[in-house]
Amino acid sequence: MRIAFQGEMGAFGEAAAERVNREARRVACPTFDSVFEAVGRGPATHGVLPIENSIAGTIHQTYDLLLEHDLSIVGEVEVPVVHHLLAPPGVSLDRVRRIYSHPQALAQCERFLKTLSDVEIVASANTAGAAKRVAEEARPDAAAIASARAGDLFGLVSLAPAIQDFRDNVTRFIVIGRRPLGDSMADKTTVVFSLRNEPGALFKALGVFALRNVNLTKLESRPFRGRPWEYLFYADLAASRDELPCARALQHLAEMAPTLRVLGSYCAWHEHEMKALDPFDVCT
């Protein structure tokens, strides 16, 4: 198995790939789109992409790319996110005047950053890339916000550990591919659909699931590209598409939705699985 992720080695995407399969070869990609390309055309068999953070919310680019590519969601994994302020050996916190990191990471550490003065904040493509840049440039006044693993990989030391605003900071990643992950039974389905612009359309659409006791765990609307002021609805269902209530609900929805696509039916990430893993082995 070869799993593609966005960013450099040491990124939280790599931690997600490791949680999917510790023995898999990990393939670093520069962009989200290139993760899809790596899975669609090779060299990767699967890919991991962030889709939601417990603090910052939805990563909309991932939803948009799911529509552009003919790949299914075959799994998901959750990764606790612990941010560290990293710098080359010998750099002290009071000397830091420039901090690099991904905009999401910067937003998740806003409270800590407000305690610093005379510091320039510089957005980077990813957290591990920021750490790599700080290591390569070896500036005496620069630091990066990234994982401790990134610090270990690039020879940086932690000036301040666990600087994220909230302790329970978790990112959910989807796993994309052309074939399932193992033999686990699917218990979650993600769909996208459009509706006619008429009164009660969304109420009726959601009713097909309520009538059959199919739980919606997430509902997200996104602009319908090429159709101004029209929207697509993404929904996560707590059921396999093959379960009879879910299958009938989707059939009913198809009768009223101009477009409907199942993006994947897969095994959800369960809380007990996260507790069984040591969060400090891959992502702190």
Q: Which of 62, 127, 171, 189 is catalytic?
A: 171
- State yes or no: cis peptide before 199, omega within 30 of 0: no
234 backbone dihedrals φ, ψ, rounded to 5°? -105, 135
Q: Is 173 a catalytic residue?
A: yes
Q: Is 171 a catalytic residue?
A: yes
Q: Which of 5, 36, 154, 173 is catalytic?
A: 173
β 170-177/46-53 pair status: antiparallel
Residues 6+ apart with CB under 8 A from 164: 55, 81, 82, 83, 108, 109, 112
199, 279 in Cβ contact below 8 A?
A: no
Q: Give dist(CA 65, CA 53) in Å, integer.
A: 17
Q: Give dist(CA 127, CA 209) in Å, integer.
A: 39
88, 155 in Cβ contact below 8 A?
A: yes
Q: Which residues are catalytic?
A: 171, 173
